Amino acid sequence: MESKAMGLFRMALGDCVYEYADYINQVVEESAKVVTRDFSIRIENTIFTDHNVYAIMAVEGELPEDFGISGRIVDPKDTPEIPRWEYMLFGTMEEIGCQDEVRYFFCHASITHVTAKPEDIDEEFIKAHTSPDSDWLKYDSLKDCEGKVLEFTLDICGNKHILSTAVDRVLTRNIVFNPDTALYDGYNLDEIILTPFELKIKGSICNTGENTKNVDPGYTNDFDNEPTEPPISVLIVLLDGQEICLDYNGGERLMYQDNTIGAGHKHCDYNSGKFYICWRFERHEINLSRVAAVIVNGITYRVVAQ
- Reported as a single tens digit per residue, the pLDDT across 180-234 is 877 788 888 999 999 998 899 999 887 644 433 334 444 555 445 555 678 888 8
- Kind plus residue range of the DSSP H or E element containing 89: strand 85-99
Q: How many CB atoms lie within 10 A of CB 256?
A: 18
Domain ranges of the chain: 4-166, 175-302
By CB neighbour count within 10 A (0-12 exposed, 13-18 middle, 19+ buried), where does 252 fall?
exposed
The reported pLDDT for the residue numbered 284 is 75
* CB within 8 Å of 270: residues ≥ 6 apart: 208, 226, 227
Predicted local confidence at residue 211, as pLDDT: 36
Q: What's the rounded Cα separation, in Å, for the pair 219 and 230? A: 5
Q: What is the CATH T-level fold of the domain 175-302, as seen in this structure?
A: Immunoglobulin-like (2.60.40)
Instruction: Report d(CA 232, CA 294) in Å as an integer.
Output: 13
pTM of the shown model: 0.78
- CATH for 4-166? 2.60.40
Q: Is residue 260 very low, low, confident or very high in pLDDT (cuts 50, 70, 90)?
A: low
User: Are the beta carbons of 278 and 300 closer than 8 angstroms?
Assistant: no
Q: Percent of the chain having pLDDT more than 70?
A: 76
Evaluate whether 4-166 and 175-302 have a shared fold: yes
What separation in angstroms does the CA of 25 have from each of 88, 138, 166, 306?
21, 25, 10, 22
What's the pLDDT at 232?
83
| 6-36 pLDDT, tens digit each | 999 999 999 999 999 999 999 999 999 999 9
